[in-house]
Amino acid sequence: MVIDMNEERLCTIEQVERFLSASAPIEFSASGDDTERYGHISRVLNRFDYPRRSKRERGVLRRYLERTSGYSRAQVTRLVTRWQRNRLAEVPLAKRYGRPTVPFARKYTPADIALLVEMDKAHEDACGPAIAHLLQRAYHAYGDPRYERLATLSVSHLYNLRKSAGYRAHRKSFTSTRPVCNAIGVRKAPGPEGRAGFVRIDTVHQGDLDGIKGVYHITCVDAVSQWQVQACVQGISEAHLLPVLALIIEQFPFVVLGFHSDNGSEYINRQVAKMLEKLRIEQTKSRSRHSNDNALAESKNASVVRKHMGYSHIPQQFAKPINAFYLDTFNPWLNLHRPCLFATSVTNAKGKIVKRYRHEDVKTPLACLTRLLANQLATLKPGITLAALQAQAKSKSDLAAAQTMQQAKYDLFASFAKSRRRA
């Protein structure tokens, strides 16, 4: 619905104010082009003698023009300022811009774009300054008239042409994933073949606080027996990591034959490779697009480390007491008293091998190691006997060992809080 309003009867500021208050819930959108609206603004400013009005009255008139013209407050202010500047010269208020009658001419033609594509393709997409220099040489040094316009092409506009639709229609480049060329370690999944001694390792970070790194937990677990060794380091640099890795390997009661990790530089480096080579341990690393290669260690991060150590920040200065807690209490409880689920491979009706976790397959890592030793699938280190391990497990019940571990963990975290209060 279109409403034609005769607003020339509004002759006083009071009438304008009553109009604004009465039409507050109504929004006017002026019909017609900008010429009509500019004429309306000029007539209102002349009728009310805008320059002689007070500051408050001018504000009322500007709000009235906003309501009736449909322009924004900033645009109305700009038009009123221009009207005041030109009113003595009797210059009418009119638009100062419009659509150009002649479209902008294109300097670089599709043929120039094709030449640029040819040059980029031949030089493997060199940087902009290099390509601009080659275009100049093609015209000035070799006298090719096709490059006359491109010889003046600036480097910044060269990048604009590369983004244009015409350029992209002729040239599309794809960058494939670059493989990591690192000769350290064999990229394959560990193949224990039912034998103990092939460990998997992963690192868990204990959070940052105000840009300060926390401690790092190291999870190392055997792929078959699930014998697990936890350790803690202040940092993953060579000075902190190498002694702890040697301590981790020493805590396994059986001979370690394989060492598998992801592709992190904390394990894939020459120092670790030299230590493992000295111990005659095969080093393997995870493959691309095979997320299950190190799944066992990562699952232990969630079910053991995060469950007992939490997610909050622990300063690096507490790495030594945490490591002592792991060595004296936590690791013996993990391997001698904490049951683990061992999967049984079953072939279903479709011929697919699936994993089943049966109740009779729940056992501690020590019980699994006992079975492996009976089948000659594990080799104990010199000086370690199965009888000594079983005697250590029977010295405490599972409940007493768990309660001892919980009390030691409580004392450990209490020492953290006490140290913070003291600081």
- Written as six digits, the tokens of 179 are 């493989």
pLDDT on residue 107: 87
Q: Are 368 and 392 in contact (CB under 8 A)?
A: no
pLDDT on residue 32: 54
pLDDT score of 392 more than 70: yes
pLDDT score of 1 more than 50: no
Cα 209 to Cα 27, 212, 218, distances in angstroms: 54, 5, 20
pLDDT score of 7 more than 80: no
Q: Tell me which amino acid residue 415 is.
A: S
pLDDT band for position 4 (cuts 50, 70, 90): low
Asked if residue 246 and residue 133 are part of one domain, the reply reads no
pLDDT in tens, 186-226: 888 888 888 999 999 999 998 888 888 899 999 999 999 99
Q: Are 269 and 397 in contact (CB under 8 A)?
A: no
pLDDT score of 101 more than 90: no
43 part of a folded domain: yes
Domain coverage including residue 285: 190-341+397-422
Q: Are 160 and 246 in contact (CB under 8 A)?
A: no
Rounded mean pLDDT of 304-333? Answer: 92
367 part of a folded domain: no
Asked if residue 326 and residue 230 are part of one domain, the reply reads yes
135 part of a folded domain: yes
Asked if residue 115 and residue 217 are part of one domain, the reply reads no
DSSP letter assigned to residue 124: T
pLDDT on residue 2: 46
pLDDT in tens, 60-90: 899 999 888 888 999 999 999 988 888 877 7
Q: Are 237 and 265 in contact (CB under 8 A)?
A: no
383 part of a folded domain: no
- What's the pTM value of the predicted model, to 2 decimals? 0.59
How many domains does the structure of the chain reveal? 3
Better-predicted residue by pLDDT, 195 or 291:
195
pLDDT band for position 12 (cuts 50, 70, 90): confident
pLDDT in tens, 14-49: 888 888 887 654 455 555 577 888 888 888 898 888
Asked if residue 145 and residue 11 are part of one domain, the reply reads no
pLDDT on residue 29: 52
Asked if residue 298 and residue 407 are part of one domain, the reply reads yes
Q: Are 295 and 303 in contact (CB under 8 A)?
A: no
Of 31, 61, 66, 68, give the one whose Cα is nearest residue 46. 61
Rounded mean pLDDT of 113-118? Answer: 92
pLDDT band for position 3 (cuts 50, 70, 90): very low
102 part of a folded domain: no
- Share above pLDDT 90 across residues of the chain, in percent, rounded to a whole number: 46
315 part of a folded domain: yes
How many CB atoms neighbour CB 153 within 10 A?
21
Asked if residue 143 and residue 67 are part of one domain, the reply reads no
pLDDT on residue 178: 65
